[in-house]
Chain A
């Protein structure tokens, strides 16, 4: 199966790889996993006191599509409010990266990672 150019670009030059201190109160951490393929994704959002996402980082162990989906999401959420970020849908991620049907679950994982991070933020604040 051929990866799209966008997937390859994110895979070869992943944006915003890394971690923030998860004990920092402005940092929200979303951890999700996909049993179908054993992929694990950690998405962290740094959120200011206005509820705007200042920065994002990710760490993903998985296939190229899972890495590309999380990398793309870190770019998309920056500058958005948490409400706007929570509206990002997996279909938009899959479309942007031209994911084939067998890789749709990678985009679902990325969407769920955003939701998990926002839940973590709400639980903290």
Chain B
């Protein structure tokens, strides 16, 4: 049984997070140790294992990047190893500029405005990639799956930008 099936879902990228969360709570209740207090050691062990599996499934499906990667794995798409370098020069140039923009925030005359503008830029650009990802994942063929994999790799750079921006914001207001 794959993670989507475990949660009674179709293997699709778009899902309702509130519903996912509610199903998670309901599933965990069915394997709660209290229910197995009088069961055999074997049954108790199975319940613990099931609980761990439900937890892994929830963690994977909750985050859109891991959900996308998991979906591509189910579709038998060979994705580049995590350590494999990304070489899209145009994209990397943009990333360099975005990093420079973040580094300049603390020197801005209006720090609040600079933070706001940086957040907006990151949001708009990453939203654009999420949109493309959603569209690619609607079609299950090799070309679409490979492009989806590439988009997921790019989106990880935006996650990093967000972490950096949050760090800068914290350091400025400490």
Residues in chain A within 8 A of chain B (CB atoms): 31-40, 42, 59, 61, 104-105, 108-109, 112, 116
Contact of B85 with A33 in the complex, beta carbons under 8 Å: yes
Shortest distance in angstroms between A62's beta carbon and chain B's nearest beta carbon? 9
Q: Do A31 and B89 touch (CB < 8 A)?
A: yes
Q: Which residue of A lies closest to B161 (CB)?
A: A38
Query: Within the complex, what minimum Cβ distance (angstroms) separates B110 from chain A?
Result: 24
> Please, which residues of chain B bring their CB within 8 A of the CB of A105?
82-83
A61 CA to B101 CA, complexed, in Å: 12
A83 to chain B, nearest CB (A): 21
CB <8 Å contact, B82 and A40: no
CB distance from A18 to the nearest CB of B (A): 13
Identify which of residues 146-171 in chain B touch chain A, using a CB-to-CB cut-off of 8 Å. Answer: 153-154, 156-157, 159-161, 163
Q: Cβ of B83: which chain A residues have Cβ within 8 Å of it?
A: 34, 36, 104-105, 108
> What 9 A-B pairs come out closest when comparing CB atoms?
A38-B160, A61-B99, A31-B92, A112-B85, A35-B153, A33-B86, A105-B83, A35-B156, A36-B82
Whether A38 contacts B159 in the complex (CB less than 8 A), given A32-B87, A32-B92, A59-B96, comes out as yes
Q: B interface, by DSSP: helix, strand, loop or mixed?
A: helix
Contact of A112 (CB < 8 Å), options: B87, B96, B159, B161: B87
Identify 6 residue pairs between A and B in the complex whose beta-carbon atoms are under 8 Å apart, listed by A's number: A32-B86, A33-B85, A34-B86, A35-B157, A38-B156, A61-B96
Which chain B residues (85-115) contact chain A, with CB distance < 8 Å? 85-89, 91-93, 95-96, 99
Q: Which residues of B contact A (CB under 8 A)?
A: 82-89, 91-93, 95-96, 99, 153-154, 156-157, 159-161, 163
Report how far A29 CA is from B117 CA in the complex, Å. 29
A75 to chain B, nearest CB (A): 21
Contacts of B93 in A (CB 8 A): 31
**What residues on A are CB-neighbors of B156 within 8 Å?**
35-36, 38
- In the complex, residue of chain A having the shortest beta-carbon distance to the beta carbon of B84: A35
Chain B residue, CB-CB nearest to A111: B85
Chain A residues lying within 8 Å of B159, measured Cβ to Cβ, are: 38
State in angstroms the CA–CA spacing of A37 and B160 once bound together: 7
Assess A109 versus B85: contact at CB under 8 Å? Given A32-B92, A42-B96.
Answer: yes
* Docked-complex contact A40 and B99, CB < 8 angstroms: yes
Q: Which residue of A lies closest to B99 (CB)?
A: A61
